[in-house]
Amino acid sequence: MKWAIAMADGILNVLKPSGMTSHDVIGYLRRVLQTKKIGHSGTLDPDAAGVLPVFIGAATRLLEYSGEETKSYRVELKFGIKTDTADDSGNVIDTSAVLRPEQEKLEAVLQKFTGSLMQIPPMYSAVRHDGKKLYQLARAGLTIEREPRPITIHKLELIHQEDEYLLLDVECSKGTFIRTLCEDIAEALGMCGTVSFLLRTRSGKFVLNDAITLEEISDAPFEHILPIEVAVEHFPELILTDKQALRISQGVVTSISGVSEGKYRLKTTDGIFIGIGSANNGMVKADKVINPSTQML
């Protein structure tokens, strides 16, 4: 069976620098890679740094599957001030005395913010309201009511404590706002608080130690691009015969004995990634075909 895919299709594990928006990073990479078909998974705040998975070419079709995995952060919470952006680049809107919480109280508060929670998105965020991003409304001086959203904090670990600061490691679900989490922790401790440092150390399987700087990408634009399949390795793989691969890639629902219900990475017997499929009652259909069969040999 013959398969074909463009050289530039794939994923970059980008080390986003602070001072750039995620959109700025995409604009930079469009110029470097000379492509318009590019997007990112999981927006990072302008002042935040760390892992930003960037999808190029055909890989952009898998963006919808990439954001469901957990993310990890290292964050510094500064006590005594509250800002309109919930980080120290914003305007101070409130202050409080700085109290050093007793260890027992601190541990109890961190435990309170671990597990399933409801969180109200901050005004300075990329969440959309009536077609506009909240930060656009905030910059225009508007504040609107926001519905709380379910999130999960899988881990909230104290790394270091100073009089005015806490350094925390957070592992959380998609859609968690670390700035809001820190404000809420500070409030529970009887203080104002804001984020003074934020680093994303992991997004799904993409980790900080493997992240590539923009300068490294600029020096060798195509050297660091990972295979498309990397984005969906959290799905189990289903190996197809040539006939099954051809039928499924052409949109034909196909019977495969013994397959359990769920989503799969569809692959050929020689290891070529076809796309994402779903199995139900022994029948497999393609949800997203990335690398279709062009002919039978």
Q: Residue 277 domain-assigned? A: yes
Name the residue type at position 96.
S
Amino acid residing at 182: C
Mark which of 159, 186, 203 sits at the end of a domain: 203
Dmax (CA) for the chain in angstroms is: 75
Range of weakest confidence among 57-61, 140-144, 188-192: 140-144
Q: What is the pLDDT of residue 241?
A: 94
Would you place residue 125 in the very low, low, confident or very high pLDDT band (cuts 50, 70, 90)? confident
pLDDT band of 171, cuts 50, 70, 90: very high
Q: Which pLDDT band, with edges at 50, 70 and 90, does 184 fall under?
A: very high
CA distance 85 to 195: 9
Using only C-alpha atoms, the chain has a radius of gyration, in whole angstroms, of 22
The confidence score (pLDDT) of residue 7 equals 53
| Rounded Cα–Cα distance for residues 188 and 168 (Å) | 16
- How does residue 158 score in pLDDT terms, banded at 50, 70 and 90? very high
Residue 122 has a pLDDT of 87
Residue 5: inside a domain? no
CATH number of 44's domain: 3.30.2350.10
In a domain, 198, yes or no: yes
Examine the domain organization and report whether 118 and 169 are in the same domain. yes
Cα angle at 193 between 133 and 148, to 5 degrees?
Answer: 40
Q: Which of 9, 24, 45, 184 is catalytic?
A: 45
- For the chain, how many structural domains are there in total? 3
Contacts of 77 (CB under 8 A, 6+ apart): 165, 166, 167, 168, 182, 185, 186, 193, 194, 195, 196
Q: What is the pLDDT of residues 249-294, one digit of tens each?
A: 999 999 999 999 999 999 999 999 999 999 999 999 999 999 875 4
> What's the mean pLDDT in 90-119?
95
Whether 62 is covered by a domain: the verdict is yes
Q: pTM of this prediction?
A: 0.89
Average pLDDT over residues 132-151: 84
pLDDT for res 66: 81
Between strands 165-172 and 71-79, the pairing is antiparallel
Q: Nearest 5°: phi and psi at 5? A: -155, 150
Residues 153, 96 share a domain: yes
* Locus of tokens 């519905």: 147
Q: Tens of pLDDT along 40-89?
A: 998 899 999 999 999 999 999 999 888 678 999 999 999 999 999 999 99
For residue 206, give the amino acid letter: F
Q: Is residue 150 located within the same domain as residue 223?
A: no
Q: Is residue 1 part of a domain?
A: no
**Residue 42 and residue 157 in one domain:** no
Domain extent, residue 276, equals 235-289
Is residue 3 included in any domain, yes or no?
Answer: no
Whether 124 and 191 share a structural domain: yes
Q: Give yes or no: residues 45 and 120 share one domain.
A: no
Question: Both 199 and 75 in a single domain?
Answer: yes
Contacts of 138 (CB under 8 A, 6+ apart): 84, 123, 124
Q: With 50 as the cut, is the pLDDT of residue 168 above it?
A: yes
Predicted pLDDT at 210: 97
> In whole angstroms, what is the distance from residue 112 CA to residue 167 CA?
17
169 shares a domain with 225: no
CA distances to 36, 92, 124, 159, 284 from 79, rounded to whole Å, are: 42, 12, 20, 16, 54
**CA angle, 83 then 123 then 207, to 5°:** 85
Q: Same domain for 197 and 271?
A: no
Q: Residue 288: helix, strand or coil by DSSP?
A: strand
63 & 210 share domain: yes
Whether 37 maps to a domain, the answer reads yes
Residue 265: give its domain's CATH number.
Answer: 2.30.130.10
Q: Report yes or no on 264 lying in a domain.
A: yes
How far, in Å, CA of 136 to CA of 291, rounded? 38
**Residue 282 and residue 185 share a domain:** no
pLDDT tens-digit series, residues 239-254: 999 999 999 999 999 9
- Structural domain ending residue among the three candidates 203, 220, 245: 203
Q: Exposed, middle or buried, 199 (CB in 10 Å: 0-12/13-18/19+)?
A: middle
Average pLDDT, the chain: 91
What pLDDT shows up at residue 53? Answer: 96
C-beta of residue 56 within 8 angstroms of C-beta of residue 37: yes
Q: Is residue 210 annotated as part of the catalytic site, yes or no? A: no
